[in-house]
DNA sequence: CCCTAGTGGGGTAATTGGGGGA
DNA sequence: TGTGTCCCAATTACCCCACTAG
């Protein structure tokens, strides 16, 4: 994997997350996402990093709820990585 | 490759289900619906999954209601009538 | 050289998240 | 049991204008 990550523009990342490009800029400013700056000051994001965020953060039961587990229904039994520390690296709160 | 599903905000999903955004949040917290979190902590829901839930409740999912579980999970037999035009999921602005 | 589109920065309003109680 | 509503704090969306990217 030679870093074949393509660089995405804020608008691309914003469309992926369904947020405003400005919000993506704030993530980079807050250090929540890696950003590469162009000589002009614009930012570029790595596709691998964006994809990791999209699928890794909330990866939950994408499968339909099957009845085969009628044995019992653990509400939170997913490997969802429970307190995954979704983020606030800085104990902001 | 992508399922082609856009991401919806809690408010959008809440409007589709006619419930409060808080309720939608609880569904995600309970693992009943897939949720993708933004680096900021907000949630995004997949349009395909929301639609599957909306259409599935009132239409034909031939999925048989299994034994004891049926007792545990009562089907909402209300005249939800989602089959008709509830609202254009295309609330994109 | 000029042009269009996108991006950045700051500020303000609206939405969202989490907990608690009805 | 499940949902609606209250609190507060954080995050996000849209406004302006100026500059970069191609």
Average pLDDT along chain B, 93 residues, taken 10 residues at a time: 81 95 95 93 94 70 42 40 37 35
Nearest to A17 by CA among B13, B90, B44: B44
pLDDT cut 90: percent of chain B above it:
47
Nucleotide of closest approach to B15 (CA, C1'): C15
* A61 has a pLDDT exceeding 80: no
Cβ-based contacts of B50 with chain A (< 8 Å): none
pTM: 0.68
Sheet of A43-46, strands arranged across: A7-8, A43-46, A36-37
- Is A53's Cβ below 8 Å from some Cβ in B? yes
Higher pLDDT, residue A54 or A3: A54
Q: Which pLDDT band holds residue A39 (cuts at 50, 70, 90)?
A: very high
State pLDDT tens for residues A69-92: 433 334 333 343 333 333 344 333
Compare A76 and A61 and report the one with higher pLDDT: A61
Which chain B residues have a beta carbon less than 8 Å from that of A53?
39
A5 vs B66, residue with greater confidence: A5
CA A91 – CA A88 distance, rounded (Å): 6
- Which residue lies nearest D3, CA-to-C1' measured? B23
Q: Which residue of A has its CA nearest to B4?
A: A16
What digits encode the pLDDT tens for the residues B2-24?
A: 566 889 999 999 999 999 999 99
């Amino acid at each position: 994997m030679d870093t074949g990550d393509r660089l995405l523009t804020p608008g691309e990342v914003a469309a992926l997350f369904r947020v405003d490009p400005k919000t993506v800029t704030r993530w980079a400013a807050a250090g929540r996402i890696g950003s590469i700056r162009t000589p002009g000051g614009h930012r570029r994001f790595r596709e691998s990093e964006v994809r990791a965020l999209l699928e890794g953060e909330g990866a939950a039961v994408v499968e339909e709820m099957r009845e085969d587990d009628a044995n019992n229904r653990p509400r939170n039994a997913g490997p969802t990585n429970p307190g995954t520390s979704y983020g606030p690296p800085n104990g902001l709160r």
